[in-house]
Structure 1
């Protein structure tokens, strides 16, 4: 099996992190190939919400307008509910961000893939990476991938980027170390409902549980409930919609009343929980972005923002390509990620009172503001 043409970078995974990295590297003149095992425009489990940093980057890249033109509603108010107490927060425009958004992933990912194609990257869907190739020094130097027909391809590259999710094949094959692991794993049950009033995003908290509703495309809201794994196993029997309504009635009566008898699009989706981790960000010839490198519980809905951030940070060092450049990438990623990672783990533990939850959210807000300040102050792609 002889390798095909050589690329400057192969990106394994072409969803929000991988497609963004492919686009940015191609815009810098790199020869980029992205391999995605799924289909173009397919959906995936997601928290949907884009925080300020994500909106800033997408606007800077010229991708945000595509989401707006596709009907993604602007979100200018976020309301935090602590039991019966509601605290509305109106978005303060600044640094080019005047609204938040929560696009469906099929839209967001395909918009980034389209932008990557337009920048000159090559995208191959239905390709699964089965092995890494190495040079004589042991440095990663490409991949072996299977196409949709089961044909094997050896592809050479100077850099292999794992953007292939929390169960990353690149991370496993490269031997990426786990630098920090979370102590908690919450669960989530959610669906897409039409006909709810659009009054912005609502996050609800009660002792031992979280819930919310987020406006997304086509007049739908994402409605979810999140609880510890033990309760999830006890509650999620039989009819998922009945379980969702029951948990909302018990812990979030206001949200249950807003939902009323609205019916979801199809079956509800469930995430059974996974402990977060921070993996080694890079090694000889490889790097990790998105959930492949850094996964935290979805209760804080910050995963997409960090995936786009890390794609930008990696693209900024990729053309230099030196060991020192990748050390800078890893150091910056860890510095921005760890405060978010640790407070998210505290929130996902559900051991807090409502007053403690408020304090944790202030701590989370501080970490998010620090990240946003870094994105506005630094020269990132």
Structure 2
């Protein structure tokens, strides 16, 4: 922990260095705030992810001057999205809006370090291999006033801060310590298995849907991420014993051609699974603390919108902290909820798998409208002077 200055009281300490935490650190540091970002994982480590960045995320990364870095790292420009409903294919070209005419799907081993490096260059102190031990509370008011941190050797250090931000995922330790309870909880979830394949002759995003099954092909750095999804309760029966065979069976259920293409491709690494988790929306602010990313808002990955919303909320939270009053933090939660609830509702319906192909097509139309509203909202935030580089 030699990088930490014991005499410094930070404006913000952020727990969790993935995209939501790193983006928040970047924006706060660019405003002139003293920021400490800590993450228990090693720098550049991988994590479960759909990789897909929707228009709102690309708008933000472009605004922050980081989209070019992803392209230079080999993240392909995605110019189309095709939805496959059985034998019907609906191709949607990515039209130019808000200065963006492509999507991206970078590996997290590229996106997360890019954001953390940008935060470091902006003046934030970034430390990996350090975990939150406990929060420090003011005895009289109960306000969060700092954190106790622990490194891999067990050494502990207490750091004071005006604001502690939990960006530490669905099982957020910060959320547990401040008793941030969810006020929306989903009923459905999908179970997902995914892997990386080289040699697939596929451009653009492809989403496949069939009865009780879904699949996707996402172009990422040097390969494609291919996933299959089933209703959460069917995850064990589908993949237990032979994950690879279950993976191929779900591909076949969606498209025999897709299964053939993937069977001929070269796998890069093992298949990975996520048994599913139900959506939740938590209280995300209080006296001396706030939550961002999956720590405060998680929904099923089948709609591939988690990273986009994490970057969105990083910007909303940063603006609220810079404003410097409790009402601004309350507005952050209100704004987050107003933008998130339509996504939660439609994602719940898609993750239920209780649709036929016509119905899921209509759900995607609704999703498109919700995404357009969010992208328009994000684009309007670009004029905020306090968040300028």
TM over 0.5: yes
Deviations 1:189-244 (A, max 9, x none): 000000001321100001111101000001x1000100012322112123322221
Work out which of the residue numbers 256, 260, 264 in structure 1 matches 2:259: 256
Alignment of 1:326-341 (within 5 A): 326-341=329-344
Deviations 1:39-95 (A, max 9, x none): 101110001000000000000001111100011100001100001100011110121
Distance 2:203 2:332 in 1: 39
Residue 160 of structure 1 pairs with residue 164 of structure 2 = yes
- Give the SS at the match of 1:44: coil
Judge conservation of contact 1:23–1:117 (CA < 8 Å) in 2: yes
In the other structure, the counterpart of 2:44 is 41
Residue 376 of structure 1 pairs with residue 389 of structure 2 = no
Q: CA deviation at 1:307?
A: 0.2
In the other structure, the counterpart of 2:293 is 290
Q: CA deviation at 1:4?
A: 5.2
Work out which of the residue numbers 220, 225, 237 in structure 2 matches 1:222: 225
Moved more, 264-273 or 48-57: 264-273
Moved over 4 A (4+): none
Distance 2:189 2:265 in 1: 29
Judge conservation of contact 2:239–2:245 (CA < 8 Å) in 1: no
In the other structure, the counterpart of 2:34 is 31
Judge conservation of contact 1:4–1:154 (CA < 8 Å) in 2: no
Judge conservation of contact 1:127–1:145 (CA < 8 Å) in 2: yes
Work out which of the residue numbers 182, 185, 197 in structure 2 matches 1:181: 185
Distance 2:123 2:100 in 1: 28
Q: CA deviation at 1:263?
A: 3.1
Provide the aligned C-alpha RMSD in A. Answer: 1.3
Distance 1:122 1:259 in 2: 43
Judge conservation of contact 2:199–2:266 (CA < 8 Å) in 1: no
In the other structure, the counterpart of 1:96 is 99
Distance 1:264 1:189 in 2: 14
Residue 54 of structure 1 pairs with residue 57 of structure 2 = yes
Judge conservation of contact 2:210–2:253 (CA < 8 Å) in 1: no
Judge conservation of contact 1:290–1:307 (CA < 8 Å) in 2: yes
TM-score by length of 1: 0.97
In the other structure, the counterpart of 2:67 is 64
How many residues are aligned here?
Answer: 379
**Structure 2 gap segments, 5+ residues each:** none
Distance 1:210 1:185 in 2: 13
Residue 350 of structure 1 pairs with residue 353 of structure 2 = yes
Work out which of the residue numbers 356, 360, 363 in structure 1 matches 2:363: 360
